[in-house]
């Protein structure tokens, strides 16, 4: 930079050209006197500028999207698109399709691309997209990342530590370095979740990886706040540190993090976005109030393996069908009841009104597993009945069945008394 009288200063910057300084400006911490001509001596590529812009955009709350399925196990494209639209309309800052929450290990290659393409299409550039590309084989992770890097609409790539292999720190460094170098200038965000992968990205390793230009951030889900504090203290201010756990969003932002890649925002996108923005804007009373209200949801979302609870909650909210792919199976009855209680208390679903005795449905449970037929009359809402879907332990479908529903208690009792060949007739205490 020509400061006059033969003095020059070499600047680091994203633009090349000539700037006329018409007022008091500051550059690299040094004042520039008005009316001197500033000549930038270093030219940087548009890719560098692009990475800088992505760094500026990727702040706040991003949703780690679930993947909805139909009952036959196929992807529910309509539900996916509606979910993406709702997220954006609710003010979410960016979207993360095909992460762990999206059950990505169960998706075929074509399905993985379809979910990402559908997200890109619905988003239409309104918010950034950070697409997931993870594998425990480096060559496979590289190929997946290259596919995403070539896709218009993917702004950055999220990639987790290799799972099951348990590589050393040097192995992880080379794994991530290979991915970053293979995708050229496409920004890469690392995902540290040792509870899932069995491998922790230690701060010393992350400090080495930060030196790779297009590795721009990390999603930290180690649960180790001391480690997070060490990371924030050791990386440049421009490096993005995201919380990977909703319940510790506030402390990570307080340490210097820039936001959260969230599970809970699948259910409460507006609220999680407001919570995160409040913390980033130092409005801690608002952030704490929102956190206090929704921390029970953040906790219950992990009462069983994620994404079981969040998908069950979205199904209760009427946004998706509750379908998983093996090895994931539906939640247990006790944990489902706890989840339902939490989302009812915070207002995501309405508590059903208690039915009057005459308005409730009734069922008859017929059982002949021990030889003679027995029947028990139940109210449909009884935990043993579950609207004709319950089955006591040890009873199988070949020796028991539900009859009903019956609209009133009188009709149910009349039907029970009219049944022939029954040795024992009784009524549950729910009646």
CA angle, 339 as apex, 104 and 102 as ends, to 5°? 10
- The residues facing 259 across adjacent strands are 60, 242
| SS3 labels along 327-362 | CCCCCCHHHHHHHHHHHHHCCCCCCCCCCCCCCCCE
**Widest Cα–Cα separation across the chain:** 112
Could you tell me the two tokens for 78?
A: 């309509």
DSSP state of 7: E
Tokens of 13: 């910057």
219 flagged as catalytic: yes
Closest CA to 129 of 109, 157, 90: 157
Number of C-beta neighbours around residue 22 at 10 A: 8
* 3 state DSSP class of 189: strand
Give Cβ neighbours of residue 85 (< 8 Å, ≥ 6 apart). Answer: 122
- Torsion over CA of 189, 193, 196 and 202, rounded to 10 degrees? 110
Residue 117 CB-half CA count within 13 A: 10
- Residue of 163, 173, 191, 406 with catalytic role: 191
DSSP state of 267: T
Task: Report how far residue 155's alpha carbon sits from residue 346's, in angstroms, rounded to the nearest whole number.
Answer: 34
How does strand 130-132 pair with strand 37-39? unpaired
φ, ψ at 19 (rounded to 5°): -120, 130
Chain Cα centroid distance, residue 88: 14
Place of tokens 């010393």: 204
330 Cβ neighbours under 8 A, 6+ residues apart: 308, 312, 322, 324, 336
Cα–Cα dist 60/62, whole Å: 7
- How many other CB atoms sit within 10 Å of the CB of residue 417? 10
Distance from C-alpha of 86 to C-alpha of 89, rounded to nearest angstrom: 5
Question: Active site residue: 144, 186, 219, 311, which one?
Answer: 219
- Catalytic annotation on 163? no
The DSSP 8-state label assigned to residue 85 in this structure reads H
Catalytic (active-site) positions? 191, 219
């Amino acid at each position: 930079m020509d400061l006059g009288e033969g003095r020059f200063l070499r600047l680091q910057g994203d633009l090349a050209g000539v700037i006329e300084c018409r007022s008091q400006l500051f550059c690299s911490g040094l004042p520039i006197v008005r009316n001197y001509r500033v000549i930038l001596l270093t030219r940087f590529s548009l890719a560098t500028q692009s990475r800088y812009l992505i760094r500026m955009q990727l702040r706040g709350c991003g949703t780690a999207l679930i993947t909805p399925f139909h009952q036959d196990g196929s992807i529910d494209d309509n539900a996916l698109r509606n979910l993406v639209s709702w997220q954006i309309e609710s003010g979410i800052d960016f979207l993360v399709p095909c992460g762990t929450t999206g059950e990505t290990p169960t998706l075929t290659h074509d399905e993985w691309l379809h979910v990402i393409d559908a997200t890109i299409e619905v988003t239409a550039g309104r918010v950034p997209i950070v697409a997931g590309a993870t594998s425990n084989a480096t060559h496979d992770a590289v190929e997946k990342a290259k596919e995403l890097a070539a896709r218009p609409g993917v702004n950055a790539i999220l990639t987790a530590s290799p799972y099951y292999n348990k590589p050393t720190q040097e192995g992880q460094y080379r794994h991530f370095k290979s991915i970053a170098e293979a995708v050229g200038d496409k920004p890469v965000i690392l995902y540290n979740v040792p509870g899932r992968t069995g491998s922790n990205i230690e701060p010393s390793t992350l400090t080495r990886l930060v030196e790779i230009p297009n590795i721009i951030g990390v999603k930290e889900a180690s649960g180790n706040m001391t480690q997070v504090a060490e990371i924030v203290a050791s990386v440049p201010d421009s490096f993005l540190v995201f919380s990977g756990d909703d319940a510790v969003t506030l402390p990570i932002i307080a340490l210097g993090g820039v936001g959260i890649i969230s599970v809970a925002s699948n259910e409460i996108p507006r609220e999680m976005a407001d919570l995160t923005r409040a913390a980033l804007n130092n409005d801690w009373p608002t952030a704490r109030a929102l956190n206090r209200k929704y921390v029970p949801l953040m906790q219950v979302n992990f009462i069983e393996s994620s994404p079981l609870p969040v998908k069950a909650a979205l199904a209760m909210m009427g946004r998706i069908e509750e379908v998983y792919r093996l090895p994931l199976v539906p939640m247990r009855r006790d944990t489902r009841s706890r989840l339902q209680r939490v989302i009812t208390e915070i207002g995501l679903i309405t508590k059903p009104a208690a039915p009057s005795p005459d308005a409730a449905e009734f069922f008859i449970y017929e059982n002949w597993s021990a030889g003679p037929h027995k029947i028990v009359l139940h109210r449909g809402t009884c935990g043993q009945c579950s609207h004709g879907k319950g089955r006591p332990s040890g009873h199988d479908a070949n020796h028991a069945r539900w009859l009903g529903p019956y609209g009133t208690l009188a009709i149910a009792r009349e039907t029970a008394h009219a049944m022939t060949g029954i040795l024992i007739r009784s009524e549950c205490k729910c009646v």
